[in-house]
């Protein structure tokens, strides 16, 4: 059952999203056997067509892979080419270049990861992407990101638009920057802000967005939600606080201070679909992991992490270092939480599609927001 307005008044400010940790928080580790809530398992079964046992096994494997990935990245050093999680096999693959020392290969395999040899290092691919970021992109170029499996930078172009003169010029300049592959996508991304409508939102100007994660002193959310009117109001139109900082485009993050009777809690709202989720840290889930989103329009939905560090080309300008997911979203969900297990991942930015026919959604990673403004994630 949906919560009463009284119950939500306290939570709505900071629970609509799951986010990550920074100085002053202690992320949960894979060794901490935090049982998955019944609601989360139900959502996993619904969105991934799993049995309960399969959902539990997948979450356990993802906790292991998330904890292991950062360690093996250091082990591979400059030879590191990226990594990804295989949900079907429950395995973590670490890509490395041919010059990887034998001792590092042994250590990676001994840790339980699979090794894949690739042509380019993650550092080389990141440099290619950075060079492409400096090239003005036409609206038919949807986004670009590093694909560690293919060891290339993927440039996504809206279907039927590859022949446009400005697209051909962009692709030609991108190929000069380094290894590039062009792929077609269905449509261009848009942000998910919305006009004033009912629900459990926060309001600023004439825009409704969703709260992200609680931090000490306020909450984080999407930067494009800042209408530069200053004041932010809760679901009941009572004053919550003000935007203290925001960035969009280039980034898509912001934070709002909280006062006037509102308070912060380390919770992501489950909207009755799942139990409200406690936030225990912000370890980054690898590509291939399951991830769920909470927002004030479409509430709770789950999907998979598809790509990291993708540059998204909105009509307002490019936003860098985003994470792409298969989770759906709709206007008003902007700023809402992305969470993997009990680990905060980021705040909803934009995408394409809807929650009737499906789509893809990008989020701004939470750790970057925390580090940018010196904030501390409120954790359980």
* Model pLDDT for residues 57-108, shown as the tens digit of each residue: 999 999 999 999 999 999 999 999 999 999 999 999 999 999 999 999 999 9
pTM for this model (two decimals):
0.77
Query: Which among 221, 238, 257, 176 has a CA at the least distance from the CA of 332?
Result: 221
Rounded CA separation 353/303 (Å): 14
Question: Looking at residues 134-158, what average pLDDT do you find?
Answer: 95
Helix (H, G, I), strand (E, B) or coil at 125: helix
pLDDT digits (tens, 9 = 90+) for 297-322: 999 999 999 999 999 999 999 999 99
Q: Is the pLDDT of residue 282 over 90?
A: yes
Q: Which residues pair with 155 in a beta bridge?
A: 144, 182
pLDDT digits (tens, 9 = 90+) for 168-203: 999 999 999 999 999 999 888 888 765 432 336 899
Query: Which among 134, 349, 138 has a CA at the least distance from the CA of 246?
Result: 349
* 246 and 219 Cβ atoms separated by less than 8 Å: no
Q: Is the pLDDT of residue 4 over 60?
A: no
Question: Looking at residues 19-47, what average pLDDT do you find?
Answer: 57
Rounded CA separation 79/74 (Å): 10
Catalytic positions, please? 224, 252, 334
Q: Tokens at residue 329, please? A: 């979203």
Measured in residues, the chain has a length of: 380
Q: Tokens at residue 377, please? A: 């994630």
Which of 35 and 341 is assigned the larger pLDDT? 341
Would you state the pLDDT for residue 27? 33
Give me the percent of the chain exceeding a pLDDT of 90.
74
Q: Which residues, at least 6 apart from 75, have a Cβ–Cβ distance to it below 8 Å?
A: 104, 107, 108, 111
Would you state the pLDDT for residue 7? 33
């Amino acid at each position: 059952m949906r919560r009463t307005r009284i119950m939500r008044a306290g939570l709505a400010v900071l629970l609509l999203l799951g986010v990550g940790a920074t100085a002053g928080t202690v992320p949960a580790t894979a060794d901490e056997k935090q049982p998955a809530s019944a609601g989360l398992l139900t959502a996993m079964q619904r969105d991934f067509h799993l049995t309960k046992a399969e959902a539990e096994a997948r979450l356990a494997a993802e906790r292991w892979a998330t904890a292991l990935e950062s360690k093996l990245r250091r082990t591979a050093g400059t030879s590191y080419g990226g990594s990804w999680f295989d949900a079907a096999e429950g395995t973590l693959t670490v890509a490395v270049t041919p010059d990887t020392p034998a001792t590092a290969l042994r250590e990676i395999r001994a840790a339980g990861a699979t090794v894949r040899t690739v042509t380019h290092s993650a550092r080389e691919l990141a440099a290619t992407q950075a060079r492409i970021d400096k090239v003005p992109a036409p609206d038919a170029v949807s986004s670009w990101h590093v694909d560690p499996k293919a060891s290339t930078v993927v440039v996504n172009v809206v279907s039927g638009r590859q022949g446009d003169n400005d697209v051909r010029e962009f692709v030609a300049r991108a190929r000069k920057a380094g290894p590039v592959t062009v792929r077609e996508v269905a449509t261009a991304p848009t942000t998910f802000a919305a006009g004033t409508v009912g629900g459990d939102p926060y309001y600023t100007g004439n825009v409704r967005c969703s709260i992200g994660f609680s931090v000490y002193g306020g909450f984080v959310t999407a930067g494009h939600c800042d209408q530069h009117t200053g004041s932010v109001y809760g679901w009941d139109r009572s004053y919550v606080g003000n935007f203290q900082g925001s960035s969009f485009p280039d980034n898509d993050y912001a934070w709002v201070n909280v006062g006037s009777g509102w308070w912060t809690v380390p919770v992501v709202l489950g909207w009755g679909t799942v139990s409200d989720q406690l936030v225990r840290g912000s370890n980054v889930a690898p590509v291939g992991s399951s991830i769920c989103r909470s927002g004030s329009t479409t509430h709770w939905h789950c999907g998979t992490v598809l790509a990291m560090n993708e540059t998204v080309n909105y009509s307002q300008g490019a936003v860098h270092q985003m994470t792409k997911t298969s989770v759906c979203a709709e206007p008003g969900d902007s700023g809402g939480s992305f969470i993997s297990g009990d680990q905060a991942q980021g705040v909803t930015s934009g995408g394409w599609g809807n929650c009737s026919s499906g789509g893809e959604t990008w989020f701004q990673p939470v750790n970057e927001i925390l580090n940018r403004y010196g904030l501390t994630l409120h954790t359980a």
